[in-house]
Amino acid sequence: MSTFQAPKGTYDLIPPHSATYLAVRDAIAAPVRRAGYGYVETPGFENVELFARGVGESTDIVTKEMYAFETKGGDRLALRPEGTASVLRAALQAGLHKGGNLPVKLWYSGSYYRYERPQKGRYRHFSQVGAEAIGAEDPALDAELVILAHDAYRSLGLRGFRILLNSLGDAKCRPVYRAALQEFLRGLDLDEDTRHRIDVNPLRVLDDKRPAVRSQLADAPLFRDHLCEDCRAYHAQVRELLTAAGIAFEDDPTLVRGLDYYTRTTFEFVHDGLGSQSAVGGGGRYDGLSEMIGGPALPSVGWALGVDRTVLALEAEGITLELPASTDVYAVPLGEEARQVLFAQVTELRRAGVATDLAYGGKGLKNAMKSANRSGARLALVAGERDLAEGLVQLKDLTSGEQRPVALDALVDEVRKALD
């Protein structure tokens, strides 16, 4: 029988590479936590209706990419394709918006699932870190989120990303723009699928990547020329705040995003070293989503950054994160008695906060020292029967090769000193 493989469009995170993923998640979360966002965790699946209503019945995510299924009990569920609808659902369910302390700021980190055509940077199982600020209409909040994502990427050393910014208007000006766009699109030479899209979701046509469609869109009406006075003023404030914070961004009037809940501010972080799957993160304002899923009016804004693509961006820029070694001290017992003594010492060292490992499996000295070197440890503890009889172990510096005996009862202190 052949061995099992990870399902198509998925991959495993394996040491040592997996350490980079953890570090990227931490680096994205750090600025967000400093800005008052609290951690939220929601189930990996939800009622399918939540996404159908929230993300949009006519989006690719809902019509083509959702892992939807019926349970044995007859519930219609879906693996979450994104986090925003779930996080808002959780906030509403817990009544977080009722405490009079708005916005409710939440961040999350987890796995998401989309049945997409797999390629480099596009997977069926991927990982996001996200942040949502629920229940406040304030351009400073939109700007805060863009700045936090920018700072997260910068803290990883990334430089080759750009920020694309747009406004998708509100319930007042969107229908006017939509009608103008539909009228324009109906005059073009388009295939049947795209013509259908003009009726259900005309803004998505602007996102069509096919050259034959693109070339016809050059004169399409742009939302920025149709924004109502409130949306125009709001967008101007977001832009001013970003500019004052020294954040460079590009206005992209064709940025429409793949989810239907957006209003006003939308943005995407794109990285130029990633080929076609260039969006490393994206987000925006979603003032109507709460009402769409049965809640009160709660204007909100947020983003999600793709961990997989952020790691690819690091690789594209040749950045290796400086990660602390997972093991500082590696213990090498020579013989059964030494094994027992060192096993106890390893536990003591770990309890004292020193990352310590032991040569398991009765390895000989040569093999055990090889493992010590491979572990990345700075120090080795070597103990044979003769040393132990005198209450000693050998402390070896694996960089310089120097070795000296230390008393067992002073071991934790001596190791700490040697690591300082």
Which residue ranges make up the site for ligand HAM (CB under 6 A)?
82-84, 114, 116, 122-123, 126, 128, 130, 132, 258-259, 279-284, 286, 302-304, 306, 308-309
What are the CA-CA distances from residue 392 to residues 28, 336, 358, 405 (Å)? 45, 16, 17, 6
Instruction: Give least dist CB 181 to ligand HAM, A.
Output: 21
Q: Which is nearer to ligand HAM, 83 or 169 (CB)?
A: 83
**129 and 27 in contact (C-beta within 8 Å)?**
no
What number of other Cβ atoms are within 10 A of residue 295's Cβ? 17
Q: How far is the CB of 246 from ligand HAM (least distance, A)?
A: 23
Which residue type occupies 103? Answer: P
410: CB partners within 8 A, 6+ apart = none
> Least Å distance between CB 25 and ligand HAM?
13
Minimum distance of ligand HAM from residue 225's CB (angstroms)? 25
Confirm if 224 and 167 have CB atoms less than 8 A apart: yes
Min dist CB 361 to ligand HAM, Å, is 39
Structure tokens belonging to residue 374 = 């491979």
State which residue, 279 or 369, has the beta carbon closest to ligand HAM.
279
CB 158 within 8 A of CB 319: yes
Rounded to a whole number of angstroms, the CA Rg of the chain reads: 27
Separation CA 361–CA 346 (nearest Å): 15
Q: Which residue is nearest to ligand HAM (CB)?
A: 306
Compute the residue count for the chain: 420
Residue placing its CB nearer to ligand HAM in the complex, 282 or 299: 282
Whether residue 211 has a cis bond before it, omega within 30° of 0 = no
Q: How far apart are CA 257 and CA 61, in angstroms?
A: 11
Nearer to ligand HAM by C-beta: 86 or 345? 86
- For ligand HAM, the closer of residues 303 and 330 by Cβ is 303
Helix-helix angle 411-419:336-351, to 10 degrees: 60
- Pairing relationship of beta strands 68-70 and 250-251 according to DSSP bridges: unpaired
Closest approach of ligand HAM to the CB of residue 214, in Å: 20
The amino acid occupying position 244 is A
Instruction: HSE, CB side, 13 Å, CA atoms: give it for residue 283.
Output: 28
Instruction: Provide the minimum distance between the beta carbon of 220 and ligand HAM in the complex, in angstroms, as a whole number.
Output: 22
The CA distance from 409 to 392, in Å, is 9
State in angstroms the smallest separation of the CB of 305 from ligand HAM: 6
Judged by CB, which is closer to ligand HAM: 160, or 384?
Answer: 160
Task: Report in angstroms how near the CB of residue 77 gets to ligand HAM at its nearest.
Answer: 18
Nearer residue to ligand HAM within complex by CB, 116 or 208: 116
Residue 123 or 177 with smaller CB distance to ligand HAM: 123
The structure tokens listed for 243 are 């500019």
Query: Which one, 88 or 380, has the nearer CB to ligand HAM?
Result: 88
Q: How far apart are CA 215 and CA 264, in angstroms?
A: 26
